[in-house]
Amino acid sequence: MANEMHVAGYSANIDDPDAFVARLRAVSEKLGSVVEVYDASIVLGAEHVISAWGRAERAHASGRAVAGSVAMEARLYISCEGQIKAALAKTGVKRGDGGVVLAATSAGALDEAAKELNLVRDDALLEPTKEKLISWGLDPEAGNAPDLIFEKMSLLEVER
């Protein structure tokens, strides 16, 4: 993978998702680093996000990408959706206090973005909980249930 991704979970109380994302974009531009945000309820561990970014970079390098940017392609892989609209609906931040996951191309940018957005780090939000596994249609009793998300991402690649 060309870019190493740094991933962390954060407690967040978001009143206006659009304003939150706009603030993140401004911070990202100021830092000169890619910083993306995802709804924590969809993420099954840091490796879920890191693997999706690696797949997105490979898809762009090989000309198989369907999205115009690596960041959007990664979102498709994280969501295991083939359509951008569905991926945004699944991974986008939601109103309330559910939590978010940030991914950045540098650890410094990750920390600075969290500071600028007044987020409190909580990596427990990354964990593949029973509720998350069920929402993905995965068996929470399976010993390797989080690994099944990689299978879903692989199927998305094969479908292309």
Position of tokens 């990750």? 110
The verdict on residue 1 lying in a domain is no
pLDDT surpasses 60 at 116: yes
* pLDDT tens for each residue of 11-59: 999 999 999 999 999 999 999 999 999 999 999 999 999 999 999 999 9
* pLDDT tens for each residue of 80-95: 999 999 999 999 999 9
The total number of structural domains that make up the chain: 1
Q: Which residues contact 142 (CB under 8 A, 6 or more apart)?
A: 148
For residue 25, give the CATH number of its domain.
3.30.2380.10
The verdict on residue 140 lying in a domain is yes
Per the structure, the complete domain to which residue 121 belongs is given by 6-159
* Residue 150, CA atoms < 13 Å, CB-side half-sphere: 11
- Tell me if 23 sits within 8 A of 137, measured CB to CB: no
